[in-house]
Amino acid sequence: MKIHYIRCLEDNYSYLIIDESTKEAAVVDPVEPEKIVNVANEHGVHLKLVLTTHHHWDHSGGNEKIKQLVPGIKVYGGSIDKVKGCTDAVENGDKIALGADVVILSLHTPCHTKGHISYYVSGKEGEDPAVFTGDTLFVAGCGKFFEGTAEQMYQSLCVTLGSLPKQTRVYCGHEYTVKNLQFALTVEPDNEKIKGKLLWAQGQRQAGQATVPSTIEEEMETNPFMRVDLPQIQEKVGNHSPVEAIREIRRLKDNWKG
């Protein structure tokens, strides 16, 4: 299994997931479809599937066009998310096969939108799995609670995604990492892992490189929204439960002028 990130719009990421034995590929959130098709051609792969994380235009807005450019391509999206161009609606736990070796598991991760889906992807034995988290989980952050509650975001981040294998590579929908880590330091100013990752992320951006992927393990160490089970985080933001803490950290981030 190979994964390539594709920069789109100002700070979006689309992703090409390739089954190496068959050269079949899936694309996550192809908002710039012509660019996606060109990249697929450069890699000599056949686009078979679109994996849409949620209905916002900067993730699903290229679906109709890519169906014109690649006749017969299947477009997957959450069953309650009204995704543009969707041909195959998925529920939590649905599995999708790609080529000979790649299996894609749909995970319902609501809050940013009601029907948001993250896609957990595994390849051959020995390969680290990957998860494509759209706007639910960012590197060191999470999406705004547009259509859901703090309870839902806690479940999505800390239970559903937090229970994935620690080595799972995290590929998110936007390049927000530097700002997210700068905010994370306001919550945990003494967290050395956050300080180190911020320095690394700033170097990546200065070199014109992406900060994806992260891993679930790194997120548990540096992402304040995934650390709300820790009593010291709850105490820091003046709350006494993980859900209250995640709600308060989101409020603080929404008002942060970093």
Classify 171 as helix, strand or coil: strand
Asked about 58 being catalytic, the answer comes back as: yes
Q: Which of 55, 108, 112, 116 is catalytic?
A: 112
| Cβ-Cβ contacts under 8 Å for 230 (sequence gap 6 or more) | none
In angstroms, the CA 189 to CA 8 distance is: 33
The yes-or-no answer on residue 112 being catalytic is yes
Classify strands 214-215 and 74-78 as parallel, antiparallel or unpaired: unpaired
User: Looking at 59, 81, 108, 116, which residue is catalytic?
Assistant: 59
Of the listed 54, 55, 108, 116, which one is catalytic?
54
Q: Is 108 a catalytic residue?
A: no
Cα 154 from Cα 221, distance rounded (Å)? 16
Is 4 noted as a catalytic residue in this protein? no
135 belongs to the catalytic site: yes
Residue 178 and residue 199 in contact, taking contact as beta carbons nearer than 8 Å = no
| 116 classed as catalytic | no
Among residues 19, 29, 55, 58, the one annotated as catalytic is 58
Residue 112's region, left for phi above 0, alpha for psi from -120 to 50, else beta, is alpha
Contact 75, 53 (CB under 8 A): no
Tokens (6 digits) for 56: 């916002």
Active-site annotation holder among 56, 81, 108, 116: 56
- Give catalytic residue positions: 54, 56, 58-59, 112, 135, 174
